């Protein structure tokens, strides 16, 4: 059944149906999903988001560095030491992308 076109103010449409025994039962015909408010102080919400982005960036850095170091170790003798500079630089770039800070000089 297709959802009806209703005004945006309408949250729910309930139809009362009568059964064969004469009992009236409410049937919800349409209900709109209502978003819950976040339970946080607005000033702390931005701080929480910043901390979450930093944690995600550190995780991306660590994962990238770990994967690239494993590949270097597997491909060459002393590869982890030879490729350390480029691996750290690329991992830093991956973390910076996750952090979404566009104007860092490096």
* Pair 30, 4: CB distance under 8 Å: yes
Predicted TM-score of the model (pTM): 0.56
| Inside any domain, residue 9 | no
| Inside any domain, residue 65 | yes
Residue 43 banded pLDDT, cuts 50, 70, 90: confident
| Inside any domain, residue 61 | yes
- Which residue has tokens 């491909």? 75
Q: Which stretch of 52-56, 68-72, 89-93, 97-101 has the lowest confidence by average pLDDT? A: 97-101
| CA distances (Å), origin 84, targets 44, 89, 92 | 38, 8, 12
| Inside any domain, residue 17 | no
| Inside any domain, residue 1 | no
- pLDDT (tens digit per residue) in 88-105: 999 999 998 888 765 656
* Pair 94, 87: CB distance under 8 Å: no
| Inside any domain, residue 35 | no
Domain coverage including residue 60: 42-99
Residues pairing with 25 in the sheet? 17
| Inside any domain, residue 55 | yes
Percent of the chain scoring above 90 in pLDDT: 25
C-alpha 65/C-alpha 72 separation (Å) is 10
| Inside any domain, residue 89 | yes
Number of domains in the chain: 1
């Amino acid at each position: 059944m297709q959802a009806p076109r209703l005004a945006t103010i309408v949250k729910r449409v309930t139809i009362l149906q009568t059964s064969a025994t004469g009992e009236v039962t409410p049937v919800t015909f349409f209900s709109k999903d209502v978003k819950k408010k976040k339970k946080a102080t607005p000033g702390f919400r931005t701080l929480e988001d910043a901390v979450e982005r930093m944690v995600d960036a550190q995780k991306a850095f660590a994962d990238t560095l770990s994967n690239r170091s494993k590949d270097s170790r597997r491909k060459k003798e002393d590869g982890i030491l030879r490729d350390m500079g480029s691996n750290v630089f690329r991992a830093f770039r991956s973390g910076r992308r996750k952090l979404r800070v566009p104007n860092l000089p490096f």
